[in-house]
Amino acid sequence: MRLFRLSTLTLCLLALCMAVSTVGFAQEKPAAPVEKVVRQRTAYLLVYNIFELQGGKRVNTRTHKIVLSDNSQSAVSKSQMRVPIPNTSPVEYITSGMEIRSRIDHFDEGSVLLITDVNMEYVSADPDHPNGRPVLHKAEAQSSTTIKLDKPVLLAAIEDQSSNQTYQIEVTITKQ
């Protein structure tokens, strides 16, 4: 008889546990749908002006424009041409021009951290060089600067060591 009571007690406890667990599951709320958080990107227009100075006076301006978003990707602007070397047979060529690589790395209200690499290769005639062959000049400038939006900033000045020419590189960043 005692065995019967024990098993009845065990059955009652088991039924009570099942009832409590069923009520617990019934009270749980279904999981809320997961909302995708889409971060809105901001685009920036970078306008690089390259001023060519001869004896301290501006004689030429070149402009490169790059559009970048704020996701730390880099962008490149290239302006290059192949220049024939005189008195070569078959004709040989030299590549000259400019490459600007930019990346925005940090954002604050009204300013950004801009990382810029500028590579220039330009040809000039060297009267002392045999056969009057042109000389290829290479120049590099690297800059990591915090820049306020809508304000032009001088990033670098590159001097041609064989003449009195200077190249000034200026950038203005605007939010699009």
Q: Are 168 and 51 in contact (CB under 8 A)?
A: yes
pLDDT at residue number 72: 63
Q: What is the pLDDT along the chain (176 residues), one digit of tens a residue?
A: 454 555 666 666 666 666 666 655 555 566 777 777 666 778 899 999 999 999 989 999 999 999 988 766 889 999 999 888 777 789 888 888 999 999 987 777 788 899 999 999 877 766 666 666 677 788 899 999 999 999 999 999 998 877 888 999 999 999 88
Q: What is the pLDDT of residue 14?
A: 64
Q: What is the β-pairing status of strands 92-108 and 74-85?
A: antiparallel
Q: How far apart are CA 102 and CA 100, in angstroms?
A: 7
Whole-number pLDDT of residue 59: 96
H-type alpha helices, 28-123: none
The answer for 144, left when phi > 0, alpha when psi is -120 to 50, beta otherwise, is beta
Res 29: pLDDT:
63
d(CA 83, CA 78): 16
Looking at residue 94, its pLDDT comes to 84
C-alpha to C-alpha distance for 66 and 75, rounded to whole angstroms: 7
Single out the residue of 46, 41, 44, 42 nearest to residue 117, CA to CA: 46
Amino acid 129: pLDDT: 65
Cα–Cα distance between 50 and 61 in angstroms, integer? 6
Q: Are 160 and 166 in contact (CB under 8 A)?
A: yes
Query: pTM, whole model, 2 decimals?
Result: 0.69
Q: What is the pLDDT of residue 30?
A: 66
Q: What is the pLDDT of residue 173?
A: 94
Rounded to 5 degrees, what are φ and ψ at 23? Answer: -65, -40
Domain ranges of the chain: 1-29, 43-175
